[in-house]
Amino acid sequence: MPWHDDMHDGFVPAPWEIAPSEGPWEIPAAEDLDPDPGVVAIRLRASSVVARWIPGQETEGWGYEGSTPGPRIEAHVGDRLVVDVVNDLPVMHSIHWHGLRIPAAMDGGAEGPMLAPGESVRLELPLRDAGTFWYHAHHESDEQIERGLYGPLVVRGPDEPASDRERVLILDDVLLDDDGELAPFGLDHAMVGRQGNVALVNGRGRPILDVEAGALERWRIVVASNARYFALDLPGHDAWRIAEDAGPRSRPEPVNWPLLLVPGERVELLVRMSGLAGDEVDLVSQPYDRGPFTRDDDDVPLVRLRYALPGGPLAAEVPSRLRATELAPADVARQTVVMQERHGGHGGSGHGMAFTFDGESWPDVTPRLAAEGDWQVWRLVNETGMDHPFHLHGFRFQVVGAEPVWKDTVNVPADETVEIAVSFDGFAGSWLFHCHILEHAERGMMGLLEVEGTR
Ligand code: C2O
Ligand code: CU
């Protein structure tokens, strides 16, 4: 069936059936080029790469240091991360450090460097927070991230909980044509976002992960998809949330599957491998309705857990407490951001429809104002019939009414309102906030925040 037959405008394609396959699933760590223990120095060269999204098939993608996803950056709180970015793509390129509190001039988006083909730049990033972060393209991000330009960043703190094994799992999907090449980019995806027909974990369709009965594993999960929401289910397995986007929970929180994760979000889990030797269990994403015509018919398998490893002495237990988060103060200034859809006219999408904040379409926006060090409550009002994942660059927030945990990305369900308490304890300058459905962000659903320096 030609690819376009199952891709009517506004409908998501049916996922392909992919058999689980063996092979390396781990994202290799970036080489630290500086012997100084307080400095992690790496190179990220963006170029065309060979992707192995479908078992046994090679596809042209884009990546960093020759692979997609790009290398796993490993560092510690307090380290300085020095990154030499080289743009060997045929297009302009910039990198956003999703979740980091870094100087605005280092962050691709509003102020950070934009590299023409052949250009390079050195970035210096302070690492203030422990957690699971990611870096990704921020110019024409709907196309560049879909092609594979992203990678994980793990920052470890002094008080990490023990586990028997740790894995970084980046969830994504790609939309491929009949030949297994990336389907054309265009306005067809403007409305629901480009939801793929091949789900990926660490750049591979349905890898097999060997696990050990009884082990307590720590999973650092990142969602790098353009538009797909993941409603994770791991039947028969107990798990606990220990950290959200940008910080730990105060204590482990038992997971009630399905666990919903939206584009841009991260979660860290402890997962008890409660199967028996010989068992095979799939981690799947259940159908989720994020708006009209976005729902899959069936579960989408992501990875297969194979209980193959010999049992050894296992030590790790779920801790009773983690690290408490500083609370948002009461009575702070408030702002309202209204998510709207605009019909007709020529703006945004070629289909006469665009999503906006407050009726304004990037780059013609009125900046939001804040002062460094302050707090504000932002009321995110979604007046559209579709969920939107809201992301703020450079700062962290807590969801009002939920357990205080640092986040930088939050789902705002269709026709609902979410309030967030934003801490502007970060860096002054110009910052972006946007919907992390990348087709929405690139077609106008992006705003500007000006943070005035106070120190
Ligand atoms: Cu991960 Cu501006 O986004
Ligand atoms: Cu959106």
User: Which ligand is located closest to the Cα atom of residue 445?
Assistant: 2
Q: How far apart are CA 39 and CA 32, in angstroms?
A: 8
Backbone angles phi and psi of 210, in degrees to 5: -80, 130
CA of 425 to the centre of ligand 2 (A): 26
Distances from the Cα of 105 to the Cαs of 36, 42, 102, 371, in angstroms?
24, 19, 8, 17
Q: Residue by residue, what is the 3-state secondary structure of 302-357?
A: EEEEEECCCCCCCCCCCCCCCCCCCCCCCCCEEEEEEEEEEECCCCCCCCCEEEEE
Contact 169, 132 (CB under 8 A): no
Q: Are 135 and 170 in contact (CB under 8 A)?
A: no
How far is residue 325 from each of residues 157, 243, 245, 307, 430, measured CA to CA in Å? 14, 11, 13, 36, 26
Closest ligand to C-alpha of residue 265 is 1
Pocket of ligand 1 (CB under 6 A): 96, 98, 109, 136, 138, 264, 391, 393, 432, 434, 436
Tokens of 295: 């729902």
Token code pair at residue 174: 């790609």
Q: Are 63 and 55 in contact (CB under 8 A)?
A: no
Would you state the pLDDT for residue 5? 37
3-state secondary structure at position 274: coil
Give the pLDDT score at 227: 97
Question: For the chain, how many helices (H) and strands (E)?
Answer: 2, 29
Q: Give, for all 455 residues of the chain, the pLDDT tens digit.
A: 233 334 444 578 899 999 999 999 999 999 999 999 999 999 999 999 999 999 989 999 999 999 999 999 999 999 999 999 999 999 999 999 999 999 999 999 889 999 999 999 999 999 999 999 999 999 999 999 999 999 999 999 999 999 999 999 999 999 999 999 999 998 778 889 999 999 999 999 999 999 999 999 999 999 999 999 999 999 999 999 999 999 999 999 999 999 999 999 999 999 999 999 999 999 999 999 999 889 999 999 999 999 998 777 777 999 999 998 889 998 999 999 999 998 765 544 445 678 999 999 999 999 999 999 999 999 999 999 999 999 999 999 999 999 999 999 999 999 999 999 999 999 999 999 999 999 999 999 999 999 999 98
CA distance 212 to 195: 33
**CA 45 to ligand 1 center in whole angstroms:** 19
Atom 1 in ligand 1: residue holding the nearest Cα: 98
**Which strands sit side by side in the sheet containing 80-87, from one edge to the other?**
59-64, 39-51, 80-87, 120-126
Question: Which pLDDT belongs to residue 186?
Answer: 81
pLDDT of residue 10: 53
Map tokens 């998510």 to a residue. 339
pLDDT at 309: 83
Q: Which atom of ligand 1 is nearest to the CA of 136?
A: 1
Ligand 1 atom closest to the Cα of residue 138 is: 2
Give 361 Cα–ligand 2 centroid separation in angstroms: 13
Q: Which residues pair with 357 in a beta bridge?
A: 339, 360
> Residue length, the chain?
455
What is the pTM for the complete model shown? 0.96
Q: How far is the CA of 201 from the centre of ligand 1 (A)?
A: 19
Rg (CA), the chain: 21
Contact between 424 and 370 (Cβ < 8 Å):
yes
- Per-residue pLDDT at 9: 47
Q: Is the dihedral of CA 309, 311, 314, 319 positive or negative?
A: positive
